[in-house]
Structure 1
Amino acid sequence: MQKISPFLWFDQTAEEAVNFYVSVFADAKIGKVMRASAAGPGPEGRVLTIGFELFGQSFTAFNFPTDFKFTEAVSFVVDCKDQAEVDYYWDCLSDGGQPRDCGWVKDRFGVFWQITPTRLIELMSDPNPAIAARAATAMMTMQKIDIAALERAVADG
């Protein structure tokens, strides 16, 4: 077990959210499920927490009424090797959610994701500041990141 792992508090949608994430990410799995006892909290048998794993990263989803909301202050970066991966994760995670600028998506459960192609990071950290600037400027005009458009923007400079 890893020493530190994300603990996500869902407003009674944890089980639905975990089932969704496990359907989106390859090799994902559901782990330990803790249910309320007769003593509570909440109705007996209701899911309290669900452990799950995405690409070997452990998460816990907490299932309890709350007024707390997820914000962009915490997001999960999905490193994508190519445009096909960007398209897949963008389409899955934005379904029922809200596409945002610069590769960000707020999913239907309110969790924020950054769908980030490796090539974007390479271009934005290029030792040539002009290339990095052109890549950053192009990215700022996009919602879903378009690798080919980034390459054109860098080449056009």
Structure 2
Amino acid sequence: MASVQKISTCLWFDTEALEAAQFYTAIFKKASIGRITRYGKEGFEYHQKPEGSVMTVEFTLDGTPFLALNGGSIFKFSEAISFIIHCSDQDEVDYFWEKLTEEGDPAAQQCGWLKDKYGVSWQVIPVEMVDLLNDPDNEKSQKVMAAMLPMKKIDLATLKEVYVRG
């Protein structure tokens, strides 16, 4: 019996599960696509999917397992759920921001949050920003917060400058 992670994420797509898994695994350096299951004749009256079309795609991003499901257009993604990418520096923030915003929703970009072309929400956050926001000096941390709030993509140099000026 294969080892399975206790909790993993299932992303519901209309018909784009494989395309989305390929998109995400091309962005993350440690990523892979695993098993792909396909719809058969059985259950057509429920799923209405052509026989042989992709049903699920298992994929992994930096060690985190995901399952993409082609379940139809019944459900849509919302900002109520997002994936956080903890970035080590501005270059990494820039990389993920550029890749994930490609064909995404520009109106859904604020405070390091973005919505990709599939409607999935991501937070692209430099780890150092979290430290600045949690500084024991409340005045400094609040100034960093005020500088961060109007940003779309996080600009760590600006936040550090605000912090230093305190």
* 1:4-153 → structure 2 map (5 Å cutoff): 4-39=7-42, 40=44, 41=47, 42-99=49-106, 100-153=109-162
Question: Considering only aligned residues, what root-mean-square deviation do their CA atoms show, in Å?
Answer: 1.0
Aligned equivalents of 1:79 and 1:102: distance in 2?
A: 14
Q: How many residues align?
A: 157
- Local SS of the residue matching 2:158: helix
TM-score by length of 2: 0.91
Unaligned runs of 5+ in 2: none
Q: Which aligned runs of 4 or more in structure 1 are off by greater than 3 angstroms?
A: none
- Local SS of the residue matching 1:105: strand
* Residue identity (%): 44
Deviations 1:76-128, CA, capped at 9 Å, x for gaps = 00000000000000000001002411001100000000000001101011111
Aligned equivalents of 1:98 and 1:110: distance in 2?
A: 8
Aligned equivalents of 2:14 and 2:128: distance in 1?
A: 36
Aligned equivalents of 2:15 and 2:39: distance in 1?
A: 13
Unaligned runs of 5+ in 1: none
**2:6 counterpart residue number:** 3
Deviation at 1:38, TM superposition (A): 2.5
Deviation at 1:69, TM superposition (A): 1.1
Aligned equivalents of 1:9 and 1:132: distance in 2?
A: 38
